Structure 1
Amino acid sequence: MMQEPVLVLNANFEPIHVCSTRRAVGLILAGKADMIVNGRGHIRTISQLLPRPSVIRLETQVHRPRPRVKLTRREIFRRDNYTCQYCGRRDVNLTVDHVIPRHLGGPHKWTNLVAACSACNHRKGGRKVDEAHMHLAHIPKEPPANAAYIFGKHLSENGEWEPYISGW
């Protein structure tokens, strides 16, 4: 119950983070944040009844650089919709493939990495895509660093976040 995600908004209502309910309640009690949406009921303590926040807003504006999506296996699979980019099969046992292999000078960047099933990755081997007579379903690119992409994975369980995420 205290580990449920809470959307943290900047003072200008820009979504900046997701924290736990425990952290959100601590920020509210310290006077550093205000509760915007209470969609989860209450927390009963010995002496009081505290609302369980779903969305909070910081009191002061936090200036930070524009977010970027981190380059991880999970994010590559998410960008490619958990689908092999060579045969189009949705698979749970995906691998990450370098379109231009590392030993041929291919960088470890968003534009050179795709999700591939193990059969296609093995078939391609250490060759380039055209040398292996294979085709990519989509040209790989860095995913957008907008709020809808970054926080969108939480929307299925937290529908009340939609108005705060969709505007950014």
Structure 2
Amino acid sequence: MRSIAYAILIGLIGAAMLHIVLVLGLPRFSAEDAYSRVLGLFEMDSFFPLTRAPGTTGLSDDDPFLRVAVCGFSVAGGPVRFSAGGDVPFWSFAVYDSTSNEVFSMNDATAVQRKLDVIAATPRQLTELRKLPSDALGAAILVEMRDPEGYAVVRAMAPTQSFEENARDFLAKASCETFRAEN
């Protein structure tokens, strides 16, 4: 009986210590999530190319065959349009919310004419966008953002040195801007 009580006491003390460590350590881990790191780039509403060496945010482009750029954005002030095009063998695109959950992804094989054209918006903004004439949106894919803030990642493949310039050009021309419909 005494050993059972001792085991329970040790278990409770261990659980309390673990709880204290987790509670005290949580702010450190929550400040280092991907969204916070993207915001640390100070580049809202434009794609920021990542480098091989991790910068001050800890974000880096560590794949030898892909060039990567990220864009932090908010749809609170209006829908955001992502676009890019160019001559690369492969590209991919993903939208994440502020908790780093993937909301949408696609690549060149699923895009119209291999061009990136996506508009992210709140449900209410999407309702308004759908009322616009079809030529105002073009071939844009509409993506619903339940969370008004997020970030987008675009990757361009450069399998050999000869594709390097095209991949960097693709990322340099990629845009992440508030969408304004011309009436």
User: TM-score normalised by the shorter chain: which range applies?
Assistant: under 0.3
| Structure (1 or 2) with the greater helix fraction | 2
Alignment TM-score, normalising by the size of structure 2? 0.22
| Structure (1 or 2) with the greater strand fraction | 2
